[in-house]
Amino acid sequence: QFPFGRRLPCDIYWHGVSFHDNNIFSGQVNKFPGMMETVRKITLSRAMRTMQDLFPLEYNFYPRSWILPEELPLFVAEVRMLKDRNPSWKPTFIVKPDGGCQGDGIYLIKDPSDIRLTGSIQSRPAVVQEYICKPLLVDKLKFDIRLYVLLKSLEPLEIYIAKDGLSRFCTEPYQEPTLKNLHQVFMHLTNYSLNIHSGNFIHSASVNTGSKRTFSSILCRLSSRGADVKKLWSDIISLVIKTIIALTPELKVYYQSDIPAGKPGPTCFQILGFDILLMKNLKPMLLEVNANPSMRIEHEQELSPGVFENVPSPVDEEVKVAVIRDTLRLVDPQKKKKKDTQDSLLRVVSAFCIIWSMKDKQHKHHSLKLSLKLKFYLKLGSCPSLEQAAEASEELPEAALPSLCLKQVFPKYAKQFSYLRLVDRVAALFIRFLGVKGTTKLGPTGFRTFIRNCKLSNSNFSMAAVDILYIDITRRWNSMGIDHKESGMCLQAFVEAFFCLAQRKYKSRPLHDQVASLIELCECRLAALHGKRLVWGCG
């Protein structure tokens, strides 16, 4: 541990909370710049809403959400309208503070008028969501799933999901919310940090019982009841990929700000905690994403009043040790160096074998044996004697490790999901026109240059109208309390402006078609402009 930082270069830097060291010029860091800000409840809800506007059916795994205090009037109006349309609708809502964790400040309400309108709502914004009233129950208890997801790379996008996770149980039998039981947190909130204080919490030495179990044990139980577990896993993988796709545009803006292209800097990876709730019909719903999931493999046990000791937790150990171990195996910098060396040797000696066999047909058999020997040696990372090779093959550390618990899901399933990456392409346009390296906001000149280079102004949409659009949207987003360190247009504001331009240019089409058409037009015109500049440069 280096509490005050380390200046000598390392292969891997493991930061405790967030990416915070701007003096790292190589190696790999276990945090992405801006990840904590990107997965906060309000930012996540905004990102998911943007995707729901574009692809409503693909993003119906995230509950309907409103942001407080700015959307309180909208929340009241929409709930009233929905109740007028369907008088039998008796909703429950859950209010979550934006920066809250471990269940802090969360409460349930039946009506918008029940929101606690105190001074704290202004100083501590929140998200209010439709509460999922019909969750899947096991042993009459509500539970959620904590799945571990490794974001190994942002560009190109590379995602892994752990094959097992944790199931965290409430400690009182579940009943649908009523005015009488709304305040019973041990019935409605699955947070481990809350339920551990319940007298009914069970620490179990088994992964199949108690208040915290492995997700695989739940899947076995569901499978024995005839549930389609393969489809459930497929739905969860889809949820994870779509959520990461929603988050990557914002992450790329932070990334280029902290680690500008063309300058020496580390690469990043990060383990994320996805909290997922299964509905009664086995549909997975995303609750939230945690940038710093707990990796503790022990819990506190009270021996006598006020005296505690740390006791190993078999469930945590089984899941979390595998996640950490295999993350380090996947990002192992020596593995790439070794592979590069092996590939070079293989190409050289394979070419030698081919030439040799062509020169003298009698040597064909010998060249084949040589090639097979070579491949065996390369597995060891060197070309030792046969005796040394036999000894080394028994001592390979990788062979002694279990198979990877982390399964790659992207780019493996990229073809199925690439069409969703529209906002990623909008973010690429935004970053292109930022101008100054290290900034995250677009100034008025950058916005005008974007409009001009993409030829989006005309007699019906003058540059004066462009300036008004920029000022209106930027002012509104800045009034929401979005990062005041810099002045200018943030990515979310640019996305809103881009959608406005797309709707203006391509009327009477679905929004995703409008946005996709404008993206293609901009990319095409910028490519043509770049081509002209290259020709001028050559001239």
Asked whether 323 and 329 are in contact (CB, 8 A), the reply is: no
Rounded Cα–Cα distance for residues 512 and 53 (Å): 8
Which domains are present in the chain? 35-63+132-298+309-333 (3.30.470.20), 419-534 (1.10.238.10)
User: pLDDT tens-digit profile of 77-114?
Assistant: 999 999 889 988 889 999 999 877 766 789 999 988 88
Sequence-ordered list of residues with C-beta below 8 angstroms from that of 324, at least 6 positions apart, any chain: 271, 295
Contact between residue 511 and residue 499 where contact means Cβ atoms under 8 Å apart: yes
Which two three-digit tokens encode residue 146?
């904590």
What three-state secondary structure class fits 158?
Answer: strand
| Ranges of H-type helices in 22-175 | 35-38, 41-54, 72-85, 120-123
Helices vs strands, H then E, count in the chain: 19, 17
104 Cβ contact list (under 8 Å, min separation 6):
97
3-state secondary structure of 70: coil
3-state secondary structure of 306: coil
pTM of the model: 0.85
Rounded to 5°, the CA angle 80-84-87 comes to 110
User: CA-CA distance, 429 to 445, in Å (whole number)?
Assistant: 14
To the nearest 10 degrees (0 to 180), the angle between helices 41-54 and 229-258 is: 110
Is 493 a residue whose pLDDT tops 90?
Answer: yes
pLDDT at residue 364 above 60?
no
> How long is the chain?
539
Query: Quick check: 124 pLDDT over 50?
Result: yes
Is a pLDDT exceeding 60 seen at residue 468?
yes
User: What are the residues facing 288 on neighbouring strands?
Assistant: 275
CA distance 315 to 203: 10
The rounded percent of the chain whose pLDDT value lies above 70 is 82
What per-residue string of b and e applies to 417-428 under the rule 16 or more CB within 10 Å gives b? Answer: beebbbbbbbbe
Residues 6+ apart with CB under 8 A from 389: 376, 377, 380
Kindly report which listed range (262-266, 338-342, 526-530) carries the lowest average pLDDT score. 338-342
Selected residue with higher pLDDT from 142 and 302: 142
- CA dist 205 and 533 (Å) reads 68
Residue 527 to residues 34, 522, 530: CA-CA distances in angstroms?
30, 8, 5
Give the pLDDT score at 141. Answer: 96
Nearest to 228 by CA among 283, 277, 167, 274: 283
The CA distance from 338 to 343, in Å, is 9
Cα separation, 412 vs 428, whole angstroms:
23
**Percentage of the chain modeled with pLDDT above 90:** 61
| pLDDT, mean over the chain | 85
Q: What is the pLDDT of residue 337?
A: 61
**Residue 213 DSSP SS3:** strand
> Is residue 276 a contact partner of residue 286, using CB atoms and an 8 Å limit?
yes
The secondary structure of residue 256, as a DSSP letter, is H
Record the tokens describing residue 509, joined without a space: 């089409």
pLDDT reading at 344 higher than 60: no
The yes-or-no verdict on residue 366 having pLDDT over 50 is: no
